[in-house]
Amino acid sequence: MKLWSRISLLFIVLMAAAAGSAYIWVPDSSTDANDICLPLAGLPPGSAVRFLRQKNALNTEQHQATSFAWIKGHAPQGAMIPLTEWSREGDSISVQLFEGAGVQGSRMVFATRDLHLDKKGSPVHRRYFLLGSDRFGRDMFSRLILGGRISLGIGFCAVLLSMFIGITVGMLAAYYGGLADRLLSWFMGVMWSIPSMLLALAVSFALGKGFVPILVAIGLSTWVDVARMVRGQVLSLREREFVQAGKVLGYSAFRIMVYHILPNLRQVLLVVASATFASAILLEAGLSFLGLGIAPPIPSWGNMVREHYGYLVLGKAYLALVPGLTIMATVLAFQMLSNQLRDYWDIRKL
């Protein structure tokens, strides 16, 4: 494989591994990396913050009330409490709160027994914001990595669905031929004429938001490419000697298609699957950007761009550019991998 194709494959593997193990190592390991702290809103990339954490975890209602609690001048139990200075006074911790750049924070006192301690027994924790924070004070890096779980997960499941439908339709059309081929080819032509995004929008409107509806919408929008490719390959394979021998021996059509024809399509299917994966990621990002994909606060690359595209002209363009560039890099990696696989196996000769 060429150098760029190896780099693309390595990038895909690393991205999948990072997203799969995200909750183990990302700075914000809360559910959906949704640790809201308004005083930390808009931190620049590379910032480091010291904070306290109370033992009682926030529930959903407390998360929603966090902003009101900070306005009243105190943090809810379980919240991330950023500070600028602190001192230990017996069994208590006295801190000066961080309430925004250039703002003189108020002082508060917490009982040590009510605070989470780190591995060294200190109540003060430190968090690094490698990509800064968004308007709610959430860590952008953590949300970016967790967003990869959604984008790659939906892409993978949608590819499986589109491959199943495409292989079934394409193989049936080519193997049986005649009226079945004409009807299925007509249906594929109709579906081919509908733009993928428009079809995905229609399915999303019908099924609603959520992980399963969005992967179904993408799967139903991308199967035609698979079906057309499979049909073309099976048309040539069904005349081969091993297929004719299977018919003479009395094998069923199902056995011939699954055990004799399908294994000879593995190279073609790998090429098509990698290209379809790229299309699925783009469709998911587009639907999420339009508000029809994964609903916040669950992070996905598409809704991260949607939440921050207004910052392109407000001096914090990186909030939208970083997830956008991640989408671009991932799609480019899959496209380069697909092109290299196509050249390596030269599917025109199969």
Q: What is the 3-state secondary structure (H, E, C) of 278-292?
A: HHHHHHHHHHHHCCC
Residue 117 dihedral angles phi and psi, to the nearest 5°: -105, 145
Mean pLDDT for the stretch of residues 152-161:
92
* 306 token code pair: 């949607």
Task: For the chain, give the mean pLDDT.
Answer: 85
Nearest to 83 by CA among 93, 95, 73, 71: 95
pLDDT at 129: 93
Q: Which pLDDT score, from 0 to 100, does residue 16 have?
A: 92
Question: What is residue 78's predicted lDDT score, i.e. its pLDDT?
Answer: 57
DSSP string, 262-316: GGGGHHHHHHHHHHHHHHHHHHHHHHHHTTSSSPTTS--HHHHHHHHGGGGGTT-
pLDDT one-digit tens code per residue, 272-316: 999 899 999 999 999 989 888 888 889 999 999 999 988 888 888
Is the pLDDT at 338 greater than 70, yes or no?
yes
Share of the chain above pLDDT 70, in %: 91
Both tokens of 336, joined, read 């380069």
**Stretch (H or E) spanning 241:** helix 241-248
What structural domains does the chain harbor?
50-127 (no CATH), 145-349 (1.10.3720.10)
Q: pLDDT digits over 246-258, tens only?
A: 888 888 989 999 9
